[in-house]
Structure 1
Amino acid sequence: MSFIDFSIIDAIDIAIVGLLIWQIYRAIRGTAAFSIFWGIALVYLLWLGVKIAGMELLSVILGQVMGVGVLALIIVFQPEIRRYLLMIGSRYSSSKGVFGKWFKREESHSHSIIGSEEIAKACYAMSTTRTGALIAIERKSNLDVYAETGDIIDAELSNRLIQNIFFKNSPLHDGAMIMRDGRIWAARCILPTSENPNIPPSLGLRHRAAFGLSENTDALLIVVSEETGGISVIDSGKRRTVGSYEELLMTLS
């Protein structure tokens, strides 16, 4: 019977769809988009049920809603789509990627963070004095759009300069510091705040801004809490707390 014919192409088709669903799940899990996704899925199931039941008026109304579904999904899931495309572009445009050998650019980034010792010393010192700080370390994603919201410094990286910038009476302390290629590129920068409902309420705007940038770029974020003095490292939307200078240095190295 034709409806039970199953070929290798069908197997590949199912495997690709399954992979796409899994990647979508990975991209939106732990974010507000996950709840929105389930809401859209429930509306779609309701629409199917209404069509099967023969409720013409309700079916037409829900059909109009589903008709603009693709546009609505693009608008609602814009941050997740941006992050996923960034991940794909970064993976295949890097020097080790498929297109890296043709579109190779000068690469100064490595696995370890340039100036990690100075950063770790400054963060640990600010932790002991409960000086709030938010540091964004640029990787492959260009952070110029965020640097332009603050003041461009382009200064040599040093422990004392970092502490001086985040000193409470400093005019540059409010906002984020952006580091690029082992230098302090900008300070007093405004970062997008995350709308993830799963972020603990005890975390303030610094942490939310760190999560927000991490969700949209591949930057590494370091947050020093002004309330507790705790140090958090946020990478790819995931937060890790560090309790010592050695642990922070190991995380950055």
Structure 2
Amino acid sequence: MNQFIAIRFLDILDILMVAFLLYHLYMLIRGTVAFNIFIGLFVIYLFWLLVRALNMELIDTLMGQFIGVGVLALIVVFQQEIRRFLLLIGSNNQVNRLLGMDKLFSSDKYKTPSNQQLKMLVKACENMARTYTGALIVVAQKSELREFVRTGEKINARISDALLETIFFKNTPLHDGAVIILGNRIVAARCIMPITDKHDLDPTLGLRHRAALGISEVTDAMAIIVSEEKGKISVAQAGELHLNISLAELSKMLENVLHPSDDSDD
């Protein structure tokens, strides 16, 4: 009789896939209230297993009813994290290319920004950082952020460093809130962004950084923050905050998001 356990290639693949999902689940909920909730639910589940092992029928019956609706409870409690996980999969360029969905998401309404417009965007951030002018610029990708555009004032103007600096000038009525850029257009200003629920952030970070991180968690957008207190530039993308980046780093990150062409400004 063979005493060895037969391990197939599919078993190894199964383990790797589960490890991959658990890792990304941890990355999504770490530092949030959801992580503490997950630990609480895990402790309750372990306690239920102990109760069943000890044949404590009354508690087992009561907890069994609770565990029975556990999937629905998880969906309700972790709806934001589930949305972020699905967004992570849906916005993956390799996945979209494999399924042939990359052309479906492309829009002819907003043209790709030119190299000149990209330079003006970086220049505006540089000037605002030098003058300690606070700013929050959200650069959309596949999602057009229509629900967030509706919260602000529509502009629909070409990207311009002068316009961006004017919008975020302290005495203007549009400076409070976020500017949304879609393609080669500044589509709206004074837009309201969702605030992240992460509680392990640096307490010195203000609402701009938390709003930038929040929009990057629930959409595929990239958010640029110019600190009013420190005059530093930061970027939030895919739920990660990159603090105090250089202008060269900002240009490179924008190139990856906007894919500027060599054509002149239209």
- Tell me the TM-score range normalised by the shorter chain: 0.7 to 0.9
Contact persistence 1:112–1:252 (CA under 8 A) = no
- The residue number in structure 2 matching 1:48 is 49
- The residue number in structure 2 matching 1:58 is 59
Change (3 A) 1:114 1:16: farther
- The residue number in structure 1 matching 2:82 is 81
Q: Secondary structure at the match of 2:234?
A: strand
- The residue number in structure 1 matching 2:216 is 214
Percent of pairs with identical residues: 45
Contact persistence 1:124–1:244 (CA under 8 A) = no
Contact persistence 2:144–2:182 (CA under 8 A) = no
Q: TM-score, normalised by structure 2?
A: 0.83
Change (3 A) 1:5 1:94: closer
- The residue number in structure 2 matching 1:171 is 173
Change (3 A) 1:247 1:22: closer
Q: CA deviation at 1:34?
A: 2.4
Q: 1:94-105 residue pairs with structure 2 within 5 A?
A: 96-100=97-101, 103=104, 105=106
Q: CA deviation at 1:15?
A: 3.8
Moved more, 107-116 or 119-128: 107-116
Deviations 1:2-37 (A, max 9, x none): 997645354444343333323323333343322322
Change (3 A) 1:25 1:244: closer
Q: CA deviation at 1:106?
A: 4.2
Cα distance in structure 1, aligned partners of 2:237 and 2:31: 14
Change (3 A) 1:114 1:91: farther
Change (3 A) 1:105 1:234: closer
Change (3 A) 1:132 1:92: closer
Change (3 A) 1:161 1:102: closer
Cα distance in structure 2, aligned partners of 1:16 and 1:94: 16
Contact persistence 2:137–2:223 (CA under 8 A) = yes
Moved more, 239-248 or 3-12: 3-12
Q: Secondary structure at the match of 1:223?
A: strand
Contact persistence 1:114–1:181 (CA under 8 A) = no
Contact persistence 1:92–1:100 (CA under 8 A) = no
Q: Which runs of 5+ in 1 are unaligned?
A: none
Contact persistence 1:193–1:212 (CA under 8 A) = yes
Q: CA deviation at 1:95?
A: 6.2
The one-letter code of the counterpart of 2:60 is S
Cα distance in structure 2, aligned partners of 1:61 and 1:191: 42
- The residue number in structure 1 matching 2:134 is 132
Q: Which runs of 5+ in 2 are unaligned?
A: 256-266
The one-letter code of the counterpart of 1:224 is V
Deviations 1:113-148 (A, max 9, x none): 883211111112111222111110001122111111
Cα distance in structure 1, aligned partners of 2:13 and 2:45: 26
Q: 1:1-253 residue pairs with structure 2 within 5 A?
A: 6=6, 8=8, 9-91=10-92, 96-100=97-101, 103=104, 105-106=106-107, 115-242=117-244, 244-253=246-255
Q: Secondary structure at the match of 2:51?
A: helix
Change (3 A) 1:114 1:45: farther
Cα distance in structure 1, aligned partners of 2:87 and 2:116: 23
Contact persistence 2:105–2:142 (CA under 8 A) = no
Please tell me the root mean square deviation across aligned C-alpha atoms, in Å: 2.9
Q: TM-score, normalised by structure 1?
A: 0.87
Cα distance in structure 2, aligned partners of 1:251 and 1:143: 20
Moved more, 179-188 or 71-80: 71-80
The one-letter code of the counterpart of 2:212 is A
